[in-house]
Structure 1
Amino acid sequence: MAANNTVTLYDLQLASGATISPFVWATKLAIAHKGLDMEIVPGGFTGIEERTGGKTQRLPAIVDDGEWILDSWTIAEYLDEKYPDRPTLIGDPGIRPSAQMNEAWLWQTAVGPWMTCYLVAYRDRSVPEDHEYVTATRETMFGGRKLEDIIVGREDRLPRISADLELMRGVLRENKWFGGDSPNYADHRMLACFLWLASVCDTPALAEDDPLRDWIDRGFDLYGGIGRHPGLSNIFGLKQRAGDPDLFNRNPMANGLTSRNTGVKSTAGETARMKGQKAGA
């Protein structure tokens, strides 16, 4: 068992001390979910192998009673196995592939596109010794283009990214968490993406009244406010301009993907829409 209820976490941080990596964020949430405390080993991208004594070049990594565990999914599985009497992270093995699919969708839909909007802030907020690394690796990732050129036009991209998150909004209109009545590791993986967003955004990405805000705020407040680091930015406040797509659907219609059939009334609106009629007709 963890000595003094504490595990050691190797963090990946910005100059502010806020975590930058969504995978480290997911691990932080997982450890807190288990009711464990964290002894944080700080640092940025530079010198990970040296900090970990040659154990890894990538983070997260934790040490529990002298045992090293790498990779965010492996860490979550380890925590469930090592501490079965504490709140479960994954539970049914079927959760992992479905959570991975949802996370992959979020990365393709939003995280990747957001990256093109915030790469300069990503570099500038990194610890000074990481600036060269972030510049070189991210410019290579985007075909050799300069970071300053990649973010050009982001004011046009941000509204489209927001609009594309409607699938998440639909699910969360019908469910408190992706884990159901309480958060599980699927929530932690998705929340970690928004915590990453808060670490790099220098201009808002979502509308002030975005329906996702309830889930995000509750998620950031989990475990004593683990997602409320002072180095994080407010991700809300995006304004819709003339010609922009709607930032989110203000008149959502329940559908069979997210709502239950409990009788005629529960499906009347969708049936009317399919027939080209007004709801209630």
Structure 2
Amino acid sequence: MAKDNKITIYDLALASGATISPFVWATKYAIAHKGFELDIVPGGFSGIPERTGGVTERLPAIVDDGKWVLDSWLIAEYLDETYPDRPTLIPHPSVKALTQGMEAWLWSAAISPWMTCFIKQYRDRSLPVDHDYVTTSRERMFGRKIEDIIVGREDRLPLVPPTLQLMRNVLAENKWFGGDTPNYADYRLLAVFLFTASVADTPVLTEDDPLRDWIDRGFDLYGGLGRHPGLSPIFGLQLREGDPEPFVKGGAKGGLASRNTGPQSTAAETARLKGETAPAN
């Protein structure tokens, strides 16, 4: 059993103290979901092997009553296996598989373009000792100077919200990705927006984005775990003339978003597909 109901987690944070790593964010939520308190070891990108006594050069890492566990997915599985009497993070193997697919899609749709918009803040907000490492490693990753990577970001930012409609469609009929209560799927996806809030110097979603309800509730979980003062607002994106609509107004209609309970329930969509006037109810 975790000593004093606490689990030690090694943080990967910016100069503000806000966590930057989405994997560390997901792990913080996983620990809180299990009802444990966080014993946070602060730090940034530099000196991870020294901080962990040579156990790892990558984070997250936790220590549970003397036992080291590495990797965010392995940590979540460890917590479920070790503490089955506490709320479950991954209730079925299918949840892991589906979450990994959803997460991979979200990284491609959101983190990749947002990284090119905020990579300068990513560097500038890091601990001073980390600036050289972040600059060198990220410029090598992108093959360009950081100052060149962010060029044109005002044109890229409005293109991201429309790609997130899949999430809005799911949340239109579910309180959480875990159903009635959050599970590890929610934490993995919330971690993307927490990462973005750690580096964004301008909002990425409009004030009225339907995702706001889920994100706000997620940030408020566990005593406001996602409300660190070092995080920036992510709502308030101002659209320009010609920018695409950020989301489907009125929610998704028809197809997968509707339920077939008989001919009456599908009559309007059938009429639309045939080019006919929908029958009166």
TM bracket, shorter-chain basis? over 0.9
Equivalent residue, structure 1, for 2:35: 35
Equivalent residue, structure 1, for 2:18: 18
Residue 259 of structure 1: how far off its partner (Å): 3.7
Moved more, 185-194 or 162-171: 162-171
1:115 to 2:115 alignment: yes
Residue 266 of structure 1: how far off its partner (Å): 3.7
1:100-158 Cα deviation digits (max 9, x unpaired): 00000000111111100000011011000111111111111112x11111111111111
Task: Say if 1:268 and 1:174 are closer, same or farther in 2 by CA, change over 3 A.
Answer: farther
DSSP-derived class of the 2:190 partner = helix
- Would the aligned equivalents of 2:203 and 2:237 in 1 still touch at CA under 8 Å? yes
1:49 to 2:49 alignment: yes
- 1:1-281 map, 5 Å: 1-143=1-143, 145-277=144-276
Moved more, 168-177 or 207-216: 168-177
Cα RMSD, aligned residues only: 1.4
- Would the aligned equivalents of 1:253 and 1:269 in 2 still touch at CA under 8 Å? no
Task: Say if 1:238 and 1:253 are closer, same or farther in 2 by CA, change over 3 A.
Answer: same
- Would the aligned equivalents of 1:9 and 1:39 in 2 still touch at CA under 8 Å? yes
- Would the aligned equivalents of 2:17 and 2:230 in 1 still touch at CA under 8 Å? yes
DSSP-derived class of the 2:93 partner = coil
DSSP-derived class of the 2:9 partner = strand
DSSP-derived class of the 1:69 partner = strand
Rounded to whole Å, the distance in 2 between the matches of 1:175 and 1:231 is: 30
- Would the aligned equivalents of 2:172 and 2:251 in 1 still touch at CA under 8 Å? no
TM-score normalised to structure 1 length: 0.96
- Would the aligned equivalents of 1:174 and 1:259 in 2 still touch at CA under 8 Å? no
Rounded to whole Å, the distance in 1 between the matches of 2:20 and 2:94 is: 29
Task: Say if 1:273 and 1:108 are closer, same or farther in 2 by CA, change over 3 A.
Answer: farther
Residue 60 of structure 1: how far off its partner (Å): 0.2
TM-score normalised to structure 2 length: 0.96
Which amino acid letter does the alignment assign opposite residue 70 of structure 1? L
Task: Say if 1:259 and 1:61 are closer, same or farther in 2 by CA, change over 3 A.
Answer: farther
Which amino acid letter does the alignment assign opposite residue 195 of structure 2? W
Residue 240 of structure 1: how far off its partner (Å): 1.4
**Gaps (5+ residues) in structure 2?**
none
- Would the aligned equivalents of 1:253 and 1:270 in 2 still touch at CA under 8 Å? no
Which amino acid letter does the alignment assign opposite residue 146 of structure 1? K
Rounded to whole Å, the distance in 1 between the matches of 2:228 and 2:79 is: 24
Which amino acid letter does the alignment assign opposite residue 193 of structure 1? V
Number of residues paired by the alignment?
A: 280
Residue 272 of structure 1: how far off its partner (Å): 3.5
Task: Say if 1:194 and 1:273 are closer, same or farther in 2 by CA, change over 3 A.
Answer: farther
Task: Say if 1:278 and 1:61 are closer, same or farther in 2 by CA, change over 3 A.
Answer: farther
Rounded to whole Å, the distance in 2 between the matches of 1:265 and 1:137 is: 59
